[in-house]
Amino acid sequence: MTFMLYQIHEWQRSFMGPLSHFAQASARMLGEPGSVFAQWPGSQRLAAGYELLYRLGKAYEKPEFGIHQIDKQGQTVAIVERVAMALPFCQLKRFKRFSDDPATIEQMKNEPVVLVVAPLSGHHATLLRDTVRTLLRDHKVYITDWVDARMVPVEAGPFHLDDYVDYIQRFIRHLGAERLHVVSVCQPTVPVLAAVSLMAARGETTPRTLTMMGGPIDPRRSPTSVNNLATTQPLDWFRHTVIDTVPANYPGRGRQVYPGFLQHAGFVAMNPGRHLSSHWDFYLNLLRGDEDDAEAHRKFYDEYNAVLDMPAEYYLDTIRIVFQQFLLPRGLWDVAGERVNPAAIKDSALLTVEGELDDISGPGQTEAAHDLCSGIPAERRRNQVVEGAGHYGIFSGRRWRESVYPQVRDFIKAYDQTA
């Protein structure tokens, strides 16, 4: 176990808090057009420096999804976020659509139901905001909103990868598999495939379609730096190096976790030059008064810097089962005593999506699901490789909206019971 690393991090946050608030106040005082201090020589440069300092030192809390309305064929549709099911480590959230146009209401009633399974891998489910907003044009959308482990009391018990699989099955049954389409992004492709495989083997109804995007189904294919780290260190190294105890100032005090701040440090360490350049560009944009680019920077890092703690049991299970022993592609994974056999899936259609330049889940890792799901007829399986797209580009941004989403939408429609 790391030696008081979490507590040291909390002390650092306590120290940086007042400094960050001072920097924020100074930036506003020197940067507001109506402020007398903004007329001082060099005030704009000082204001830019203070805002950069504020953003480097502030605490980033979980962002809101912030999806309040969408445009649907010229009609404004209101969106209300609701909790459809609450479990200790996850909330199943629904984005309920409302309209006062009768034709739009009638159309929305018959649209497919989609469950978006968000990653439990450091960032919050709000990272898929663009995914959800786009899907809402043509679907009823639910998402798994994972709870920060530091906010879950120890009395709730541990959370293993097996529990993740169980959660997915419970959500599928709650929504009704006979009318459901599941979209999993990155890490959850593995537990989603396991959950549906087990349901199929028991004779349960499985979702109409499975869309798997950029996930480590078989990390032995095109291994990335993420895969290499997991394979070059023994499991005990992770247990003793990156696992720590939640401090007393959180509801989950005493719980063993992989702290989000360590995960964030790993994200930054993968490409430090890019982040340094981004912050410098932000400073220059503030000096030039380029508010659009500055605001884009703020929005990106408000999301990127907001991280959550993962339960230690779940994290170590994932390292061992997915990235070290490759139990899923080897056909050796048992969940709660049941063998995971993707070949048992016969009634669901399968779409895999990969980014040509994905440096998190390399090309071929997600496509491996087709070899495992041999029970699904070939004509009900498709693979899409998005040219020029990295990991985030397949589920967020222009490439997602213009290249990936039309394929996902049409695939879901083709196999929906109302089509």
Domain residue ranges of the chain, discontinuous segments joined by +: 1-59, 69-234+310-415
- Tell me: the pLDDT tens digits for 90-139? 999 999 999 999 999 999 999 999 999 999 988 899 999 999 999 999 99
Residues 92, 93, 98, 103: is their CA dihedral positive or negative? negative
Query: Count of CB atoms within 10 A of residue 406's CB?
Result: 10
Residue scoring higher pLDDT (170 or 282) = 170
Pick the CATH number of 69-234+310-415 from 2.40.30.10, 1.10.10.10, 3.10.129.10, 3.40.50.1820: 3.40.50.1820
Kindly report the pTM of this predicted structure.
0.89
- H/E stretch holding 94 reads strand 90-98
Q: Give the pair of three-digit tokens for residue 391.
A: 């990991």
Residues 6+ apart with CB under 8 A from 41: none
pLDDT tens digits, residue range 300-351?
888 888 899 999 999 999 999 999 999 999 999 999 999 999 999 999 999 9
Distance CA 227, CA 51 (A): 36
pLDDT(2) > 70: no
The residue type found at 172 is I
Which pLDDT does position 1 carry in this prediction? 45
CA separation (Å) from 416 to 102, 114, 135? 23, 11, 15
